[in-house]
Amino acid sequence: MRLSAAGAVMDTIEIDPAGEREALVAPALVTLGPADAAVNGSGGPRALRATQRSDTTPTEPWTPGREFVGRVAEPPADRPDLAGARVVADPDRVCGACDRCRSGLSAHCTERATMGAPRADGALRERLALPATGLVPVPDELRDDDAALALPVARALHAAWVVHLEGRPYVTVLGAGAEAVIAAQVMARLNASVRIVTEHDATLAAADRLRVRHRRLERVGRRGDQDVIVCVDSGAESLAVACAMVRPRGKIVTLAPASGPVALAPIVEHEITIVGCRGVRLREAVGALARGEIACDGLITHRFPFHRADAAVRAAADPGTLRVAVEM
């Protein structure tokens, strides 16, 4: 399965041989959201630099898919314990050797590549070679449908940790998609008053089913009274709305890069702190899902077999979907 500016097409892909410390993993279920269907996705600092260097060169087609659950087909020699294990994976590949990796900032590795983005193929293929250190075993009681969504749970857990959410009375998750419904549940574990604010119908319906508090955007006053806003959408207008909703000296945590220029005046005027967030806490996410603390029922809105993965990618871009599952 390949995606490019020309669209999604099925294709035969050569399987990477596993490196010395890598496992060969067979994906079982891959979930796709709108970000996976975007043809301008970033593959990390290296891909970003390459894109900046050659703006006129079309990006080579790539294989989407960051969220998946699969089985280890061949473990590396030093990890026989992983043989046959059901696993989820950190989508970031890091070098382990640069200054940042050696100083404990490996999530910000200068050579980092994120799978499922240009120049780093993702999980929509029969086998993929992944570093054994990035694999997290999944307990038997966790269904594939829930395990595949460990990544958005892991991102929300990291965001809650970054912003020290405990003891902040009013928290709004601003934006749409499975990300919003999952982030609101993660934040609600730490805080009593958490709501989703969006105009996205499918998100409001899912929040309603899962008993997550929610309000339609047009019905919410912009009173500058929220302690924390968690932005899950990438639009610059989303950040402008967040600035109008957050209290003076409040915090905005943004989980997606702003796609346009951001007005700095309200940020200075009200001494707002903006925190960017992209890390994951995958092991904690698998634990929270296995304990039933995060409900994902109904977040997968469409299903496709692997031979129709091209149609699945197109469906993931549809505004009526939350997550599209591909059964491998």
CB closer to Zn ion out of 105 and 263: 105
Subset of 188-227 contacting Zn ion (CB under 5 A): none
Subset of 75-94 contacting Zn ion (CB under 5 A): 94
Least distance (Å) between residue 43 CB and Zn ion = 15
Question: Does 107 contact Zn ion by CB under 5 A?
Answer: no
Question: Does 101 contact Zn ion by CB under 5 A?
Answer: yes
Cα end-to-end distance, the chain, whole Å: 12
Q: For residue 41, which of 31, 51, 54 has the smallest C-alpha distance?
A: 51
Q: For residue 121, which of 2, 279, 278, 280 has the smallest C-alpha distance?
A: 2
CB closer to Zn ion out of 32 and 94: 94
Least distance (Å) between residue 136 CB and Zn ion = 20
Question: Does 240 contact Zn ion by CB under 5 A?
Answer: no
Least distance (Å) between residue 105 CB and Zn ion = 9
Least distance (Å) between residue 6 CB and Zn ion = 33
> Closest-CB residue for Zn ion?
109
Using a 10 angstrom Cβ sphere, with 0-12 exposed, 13-18 middle and 19 or more buried, the burial of residue 38 is: middle
Least distance (Å) between residue 108 CB and Zn ion = 8
Subset of 43-62 contacting Zn ion (CB under 5 A): none
For Zn ion, which residue of 85, 98, 129, 162 counts as binding (CB under 5 A)? 98
Question: Does 109 contact Zn ion by CB under 5 A?
Answer: yes
Q: What is the dihedral of CA 38, 209, 289, 325, to 10 degrees?
A: -40
Residue 71: beta bridge partners? 26, 86
CB closer to Zn ion out of 101 and 182: 101
For Zn ion, which residue of 95, 190, 205, 267 counts as binding (CB under 5 A)? 95
Question: Does 113 contact Zn ion by CB under 5 A?
Answer: no
Least distance (Å) between residue 112 CB and Zn ion = 7
Least distance (Å) between residue 278 CB and Zn ion = 15
Least distance (Å) between residue 19 CB and Zn ion = 15
CB closer to Zn ion out of 73 and 95: 95
CB closer to Zn ion out of 30 and 94: 94
CB closer to Zn ion out of 113 and 156: 113
Q: Which stretch binds Zn ion (CB under 5 A): 8-16, 99-107, 202-210, 251-259?
A: 99-107
- Number of residues near Zn ion (by CB under 5 A): 5
CB closer to Zn ion out of 96 and 276: 96
* Residues lying near Zn ion in the complex (CB under 5 A): 94-95, 98, 101, 109
